[in-house]
Structure 1
Amino acid sequence: MVLGSTNPSLTSREREIVSLVTYGLSAKEVAIRLSIAPCTVERHIENVRLKTRTRNRAHMVAFLLFNGLVAEHNPAPPTIQ
């Protein structure tokens, strides 16, 4: 069985959120950065995980990076103040 859909259609908000998750930010940290509720961040992450048919958050991030669905990052994002 092959896991992961090779062509998931992500919204711009989902891409924005998973981009921050690839830095290792928690849902709470992403929520603070985007001024939204942590449960909203978790819902977007879960939607992406379901669209990509990945097992967990780590698998989702690896899948997204491997398939070029989010850009690989060089510098770290600005710190939360």
Structure 2
Amino acid sequence: MDQQQGGPLPGPGRYRHCKGGFYRVLTLARHTETGESLVVYQSEQDGAIYARPLPMFMGSTEYRGQLVSRFTRVE
């Protein structure tokens, strides 16, 4: 699956959210209506499954006044 932004794709594995939670990337998916690339991932805390647009998953966000990566691969 091509990333719309042209950067690296997240592989399956464990990631830490900037706020401290841990998640497992399960797969990449494509939105059926828009064609947008999505990351499908699961919370290690409660098992909930989420989908987030790929650029948002791989992007940065402001946290505690600093610009940080939203998710960072760990292992």
Give the TM-score band, short-chain normalised.
Answer: under 0.3
Normalized per residue, which structure has more strand?
2
Normalized per residue, which structure has more helix?
1
Alignment TM-score, normalising by the size of structure 1: 0.25
